[in-house]
Chains A and B, each alone.
Chain A
């Protein structure tokens, strides 16, 4: 049961990272097309981008990408999560073909195929290898260490020192 949940979580976070990354980029490109070219002499024009609804939507998607990227990193290896960000290029290629009507050359489709193979390879493997057992023993050790310090009870020692001081003062 837990196994299925972990598998579902992996697939979901992969899709979230790839889709948010790819869609965000395409939306930004769509918005910047509306804006036209930006010249260095009039670089303040770039702030007009923040009024464009496409750009704002793109920024929202990229924020979603960053959030899901951080979530994935909190329970998976970096080398497991990184290919998911590359999968965003695949989403970008499809979206720019359909949505922006750009032509995608055969070389690009070959690149898309290679990236998909690479992502598939890693996604089928374990997300966090070997670390589980090590971490479990480590946390047990630290818990034990905490217990021993607690049993010494520093507050008691402090009380004793205080009463000694008061005694001397008196």
Chain B
């Protein structure tokens, strides 16, 4: 029962942080190249542009929610299990979401790299 609770929290954390990343990515694509905006309007102009984008705020809310899920999961389980498990699952989940929601061209090279990073993060706790 306890492990079910823990994995539910990890699952929610992974989904929320991937969804947040996907929303941030979509929002930034909509805003356009930040370097160009900064050259035209300065740093404050960039901040006002970004903060006014609704999708960005929604993504930020998702990331904040995922942070609270992380804190909850950490209080239920070991840090050496929760942190790497959620981080590596997030890479895979984000790649899948980027392919199907953002229609990014995730080719064999990117799948392979997502898998390598995922295993690498898991090894970091050994």
Contacts and interface: CB of A to CB of B under 8 A. Distances in A.
Interface of A: 9, 70-71, 73-75, 77-83, 86, 89, 93, 105, 107-108, 110-115, 117-119, 121-122, 125, 129-131
Interface stretch (B5-13, B64-72, B115-123): B115-123
Contact of B24 (A70, A113, A115): A70
Interface in B23-80: 24-25, 28-29, 31-35, 50
B94 A78 contact: yes
Contacts of A111: 119-124, 126
Contacts of A118: 112-117, 120
Contact of A122 (B22, B50, B105, B113): B113
Given A82-B95, A110-B123, A121 B25 contact: no
B106 interface: yes
Interface of B: 21-22, 24-25, 28-29, 31-35, 50, 87, 91, 94-95, 98-99, 102, 104-107, 109-110, 112-117, 119-126
Closest 10 CB pairs of A and B: A111-B123, A107-B126, A118-B116, A114-B120, A115-B120, A118-B113, A129-B105, A73-B28, A78-B25, A118-B117
Where chain A touches its partner, the secondary structure class is helix
Nearest to B24: A73
Q: B33, B50, B98, B116: which has the most chain A beta carbons within 10 Å?
A: B116
Given A107-B123, A111-B124, A125-B109, 5 more contacts: A73-B28, A74-B34, A77-B105, A78-B21, A114-B117
B124 A93 contact: yes
